Chains A and B, each alone.
Chain A
Amino acid sequence: MEHLGLSLALFGAALAAALAGIGSAIGIGVAGGAAAGVMTEDPNKFGSCLILQALPGTQGIYGLLIAFFVLNKLGLLGGAGAVALTWNQGLQILASCLPIAVVGWYSAIWQGKTSAASIQMISKKPEAMGKAIILPAMVETYAVLALLTSILMLMGVQVG
């Protein structure tokens, strides 16, 4: 039971990086399917498609950021050794990771679907690229809010 706190905190970091990463991979996959379809007919649209396909990738980066934040807080990055954590502190860190883990996972999938729809839109109306970016970017708002929530919660957890 001595290392339960540390284990819970690491589990939180793993969830943040893994769930948000899985969501991003699915989202990029969906958008990539649409991009491939459009580019089969018009390879010149590669640039526009690439931008839209990349949008759902940010959640994975946010998850990784929170995982780094947690590892840093635990003292696992500098080589100085892990700080001592109670199970209660470990649970607090795990809870802090959940917003970006869960919201990152779902929002990346839905952002991927919106990006796919936007890619289909620019296939017919290339001049609407600006609007096509804004639509999936709206979904990004909630991933950013979840990232902020996770950061603020982590900053509030006292360790060491």
Chain B
Amino acid sequence: MSYVYTVARLRGMENHILDSAFFSRLMDSAGIDDAVKALGETSYSQWISQAGSSFDKAIDSEILATCEELKSFVPDKELLDIFRLPYDFHNVKVLLKGLFKVRGGELEGRRYDLLSKLGTIDTEELTNAIETEEYGFLPYGLTDLIPQCWQVWEAAKSAQAVELVIDHQMFRAMLKVAEDLKMPEVVNWVKARIDAENLKSAVRLARMNYDPAKALPFFHDGGTIRADDVAKLLTEPQETWSRILSYTDIGSVLSALTEQNDMKAALSDVSKALDDYLLKVLESAKYSMDSPANVLLFMLTKEAEARNMRVALVCVAGGLDREFGRRLLK
């Protein structure tokens, strides 16, 4: 299937992506009214006027509208599913945690407001399926996953253990969708995403001085670095991780952080470096006129724009330190 039209259209759409100079100006707004005025000429303005003060809803609406627009001309819709699938799994987590609370006696446990409309499964259908325990039609292995989550919950009463089970399945499903598409760049990106997620968890666990012997369940299979090998990193000093992983591309991200002596810096900085790496994995697609990976790259760029928008608006509305906010921008 040819992606020449698709990529050309994306190039046109990229011209409307808001750049760092815009976010810098947005951060300098005196108040939220000024910020909303600055957004007047962007594609977010229509959603902000509809959603009122709920910026999160407006930002989600913008991403959802972009997804729908892309769906109308991208030849392989599954490419968009790779981007949207994590939101389905997020919704499953929200619904299950709500039910755990309700069954534990907290009648107000359900948090429908936390559900995201960005998933591929309609939130109402997903809610009905989980609450009525009719999972038969659910995709991405959710049919088997949800009963498994209930078993884990009954056995351990740990929401974290359930989340790990869900995350494992999410990455398995992402990898399967990517492999079925038979697009090597997309498969590589999913593997890099799993590696990045594993390394974020490793950094987090190292900071908590977590027992390395019990860490394996926190890591996902399917990346270029085996989950076992990531778990073994915890037995080594953090400064040596980049050397141990020098055989991988992601090792260079860690070595850059080690050189800046930043491995002990805020987790958000490590996370930002790894997110930048994920965009870099797809960067070669930028120079191709027909690479399907451009679809994924565009959606990730749009997601980064939405994240920046959220950071900027929260900083302006809450009167937070603008310098701190600028550091969080991607």
Contact = CB atoms under 8 A, between A and B. Distances in A.
Interface of A: 30, 33-38, 40-42, 113, 116-117, 119-120, 123-124
9 smallest A-B Cβ distances: which pairs?
A41-B12, A37-B8, A37-B9, A34-B8, A33-B4, A33-B5, A117-B289, A37-B5, A123-B11
B8 A33 contact: yes
B15 interface: yes
B181 interface: no
A116 to B, nearest CB: 5
Contact of A34 (B4, B13, B14, B15): B4
Interface in B1-39: 2, 4-15
Nearest to A112: B4
A124 B9 contact: no
Contacts of B12: 37-38, 40-42, 123
Given A30-B4, A41-B9, A124-B14, 5 more contacts: A37-B5, A37-B12, A42-B15, A116-B4, A116-B8
A41 B15 contact: yes
Contacts of B6: 37
A36 B10 CA distance: 12
Nearest to B13: A41
| Interface residues of chain A: helix, strand, loop or mixed (majority) | helix
Contacts of B5: 33-34, 36-37
Q: Which of A30, A34, A38, A40 has the most CB of B within 10 A?
A: A34
A40 B11 contact: no
Contact of B7 (A37, A40, A42): A37
B11 A38 contact: yes
B8 A113 contact: no
Contacts of A120: 7-8, 11, 289
Given A113-B289, A120-B289, A35 B8 contact: yes
Contacts of A116: 4, 8, 289-290
Nearest to A34: B8
A14 B131 CA distance: 70
A37 B294 CA distance: 14
B8 A119 contact: yes
B283 to A, nearest CB: 15
16 contacts: A33-B2, A34-B4, A34-B7, A36-B8, A37-B5, A37-B8, A37-B11, A38-B12, A41-B9, A41-B12, A116-B4, A116-B289, A116-B290, A120-B7, A120-B8, A123-B11
A25 to B, nearest CB: 15
B309 to A, nearest CB: 21
A31 to B, nearest CB: 8
A109 to B, nearest CB: 12
B206 to A, nearest CB: 42
A148 B302 CA distance: 50
A104 to B, nearest CB: 21
B289 A124 contact: no
A35 B8 CA distance: 7
Given A113-B289, A116-B289, A37 B15 contact: no
B147 to A, nearest CB: 45
B8 A123 contact: yes
A93 B54 CA distance: 76
A30 B12 CA distance: 17
